[in-house]
Amino acid sequence: MTQDKVDFFLMANSKYFPSSRLFFIKSRLETMDDSKLMILSSVEYRDPTLILILSIFLGYLGIDRFMIGDIGMGVLKLLTAGLCGILVVIDWFLIMDKTKETNFEKFMLAA
């Protein structure tokens, strides 16, 4: 893949991935052919900021965990109102990192 395409992909999608993994993503993109770019562009990455906002306002319903694909924790938060608010507060600090890691896993499956 050309350097321009790699830079464009990183510029458009760097907020979706952990900053510690961007170098790995860049090196992985440089070794790919152009046909993989279409697949990677069609993957739906979740916005960590949107997930944090959902966690703040609707975290007690588990919607934030359902959105990132963590069904078990979503059901637990839904049935227990976030363990009486404890998981809700914990997720306010951890949900953005969890979302970025989930996006990175999606990238790795598609790459």
> What values do phi and psi take at 17, rounded to 5?
-120, 155
Number of Cβ within 10 Å of residue 97's Cβ equals 11
Which one has a higher pLDDT value, 33 or 56?
56
Q: How many Å apart are CA 96 and CA 46, to the nearest integer?
A: 10
pLDDT band at 88; cut points 50, 70, 90: very high
Q: Give Cβ neighbours of residue 62 (< 8 Å, ≥ 6 apart).
A: 73, 74, 75, 76, 77, 78, 82
Number of Cβ within 10 Å of residue 40's Cβ equals 19
Q: Within 13 Å, how many C-alpha atoms sit on residue 90's CB side? A: 11
* Residue-wise pLDDT tens digits, 37-84: 888 888 999 999 999 999 999 999 999 999 999 999 999 999 999 889
Domain range list for the chain = 3-110
